Amino acid sequence: MTRRFAAPLLPAVFYLAGCGYTGDPLPPLLHIPARVTDLTVMQRGSRLVVQFTLPALTTENSGLRGIGRVELRVGTAPNPFDEHAWAAGAKLFNDLRTEPPGAVKYETSSEEWTGREVVAALKVFGENGRDAGWSNFIALPVIAALGQPRNLSGEATAAGVRLAWQGAAPEVRVFRQAEGEQGFSAAATVKASEWVDTEVQYGKTYRYYALSVSGSAESAPSLQVAITPADRFPPAAPTGLAAVEGAGSIELAWERNTEPDFAGYRVYRGADVIADLHPSPTFGDRKIESGTRYRYSVSAVDKEGNESAHSAEVEITAP
């Protein structure tokens, strides 16, 4: 009699070739725009100028698929500060740009807050209506609009480009754009009605404008002025000219010129030039007649050919 044995029952095991453990399923992305952290607000004339950067990423550091709206609020703040009470009473601006990501500039009138301190902040909402909270808060006092500098003028001087203006606040900020530069940059802030730009180069065109400033507030900009300075300015006249008798000559000496564009000296005997673009502050005149009295003077000449006034004259009788 042949016995038949049933195959033993084994636990079911499944092997999936080429597959590994994939982990738990990830939660769905929330698509909340990252919080703005670079909000700035300043007063320019009778306007508030708001600037910030629209986010390109979500709070989960993934690409943001879209922005639903941006809400800016500006208003006076309760003391002590409470963001909910402030937001409830602040003025809402919801017409700000929402795309593409990047720098945003927005302006609104400041007149309704003149004489008071305001607080500004904003929220960026995703297409699903969710947000990451308020941006950084900005507090600033709003003042009456500053008068802009008037009649801005520029002229080339030996020291540089001299700018002058009228009718500005006690403090003025000057902006400069040199030939070849893409935009203006702040060059100086002065408490005066004029300023000399000593960093210019002859033959290069410069454009300028000015603002009145007070704390974080600025006026509207002045009209621009352009100038191309040219070197028409002579060196300083030589000093200390002295003459002594030499062996068959009259020896002259004077103080050395140290100006950066100096080219040489012009030596005069009476009205006649006896040496032109002489390099050193000494000279020996050997074309003389014994017993004759001579008058000498010296001038300085720069690289553009501008000649200084004459030095004081000296007189001497040839040996």
d(CA 179, CA 204): 6
In the chain, what are the domains? 40-141 (2.60.40.10), 150-227 (2.60.40.10), 242-317 (2.60.40.10)
d(CA 279, CA 283): 10
Mean pLDDT on 56-74: 94
Confidence of residue 10 (pLDDT cuts 50, 70, 90): very low
Mean pLDDT across the chain: 91
Does the pLDDT of residue 5 top 90, yes or no? Answer: no
Does the pLDDT of residue 275 top 50, yes or no? Answer: yes
Mean pLDDT on 236-260: 96
Helix (H, G, I), strand (E, B) or coil at 199: coil
pLDDT value of position 25? 55
The percentage of the chain sitting over the pLDDT mark of 70, rounded to a whole number, equals 91
pLDDT value of position 27? 56
Does the pLDDT of residue 15 top 80, yes or no? Answer: no
Q: What is the pLDDT of residues 86-131, one digit of tens each?
A: 999 999 999 999 999 999 999 999 999 999 999 999 999 999 999 9
The percentage of the chain sitting over the pLDDT mark of 90, rounded to a whole number, equals 86
Confidence of residue 168 (pLDDT cuts 50, 70, 90): confident
* Residue entry with tokens 């040839």: 318
Does the pLDDT of residue 52 top 60, yes or no? Answer: yes
Q: Per the structure block, which two tokens stand in for 221?
A: 């900009």
pLDDT value of position 185? 97
